[in-house]
Amino acid sequence: MKEITLAPLPYAEDALAPTVTAKTISFHYGKHHAGYVKTLNGLVAGTKYEGMSLEDIVVFSRTAGDTAIFNNAAQIWNHDFYWRSLAPDGKDCEPSPELLAAVDASFGSFDACKAALADAAVKRFGSGWAWLVAKEGKLVVESTPNADTPLGRPGVKPLLVIDVWEHAYYLDWQNARAAYVKAVVDGHLNWVFASGNIK
């Protein structure tokens, strides 16, 4: 049986410190993210979802209303996308000319785009995610609650994501979500990853 696997972290656990410390990543990646993988494999065993790609499980379980399967599958996909949306300070921080042109056309400036993303991340009530996506020829910022994801929505291409579940920042920042978001947006977004996603 082909199981869904936990994708490797794209850097060492301490690579994002002090914004996201190794302690946070050890729980967030090693317990939360890994837990969704284990739970999903248990839920899909013996069902029509067994053997499907993770992306297909997300899309088909959403349509079918299989909520537990959708929540765990989407959380796995969102977390894998989140780890790749982050980078060590000063690394991969330059958008491609193509992405920068799209950012300027949609937001007016790179700083305005980052501010919009940070604002969505801070304002998401409760658990969820803040996304930069390409949609109908322009870039927009969105946020989704809980496990919800833009993956599989027609015409929408996710470029970057910030996790704003408390488990993403509470050990390092306690309740100061805005400070965590600012530190991520100012120094740890992987704009090279985003540039690849817009193609």
Site membership for Mn ion, residue 165 (CB under 5 A)? yes
Around Cβ 178, how many Cβ atoms within 10 Å? 14
Going by C-alpha positions, the residue among 92, 68, 78, 87 that lies closest to residue 29 is: 78
Residue with smaller CB distance to Mn ion, 71 or 195: 71
Going by C-alpha positions, the residue among 177, 193, 171 that lies closest to residue 17 is: 171
Q: Output the residue with the shortest Cβ distance to Mn ion.
A: 163
- Shortest Å, Cβ 196 to Mn ion: 22
138-145: strand order across its sheet: 138-145, 128-135, 156-163
- Shortest Å, Cβ 75 to Mn ion: 7
- Shortest Å, Cβ 77 to Mn ion: 12
Site membership for Mn ion, residue 36 (CB under 5 A)? no
Residue with smaller CB distance to Mn ion, 19 or 195: 19
Asked whether the beta carbons of 171 and 27 are under 8 A apart, the reply is yes
Residue with smaller CB distance to Mn ion, 87 or 164: 164
Residue with smaller CB distance to Mn ion, 70 or 107: 70
Binding residues for Mn ion, total number by CB under 5 A: 3
Going by C-alpha positions, the residue among 31, 39, 34, 28 that lies closest to residue 6 is: 34
- Shortest Å, Cβ 13 to Mn ion: 15
Phi, psi of 80 (to 5 degrees): -60, -40
- Shortest Å, Cβ 168 to Mn ion: 5
CA dihedral 48, 38, 151, 79 (to 10 degrees): -170
Per CB under 5 A, contacts with Mn ion among 135-164 are: 163
* Residue ranges binding Mn ion (CB under 5 A): 163, 165, 168
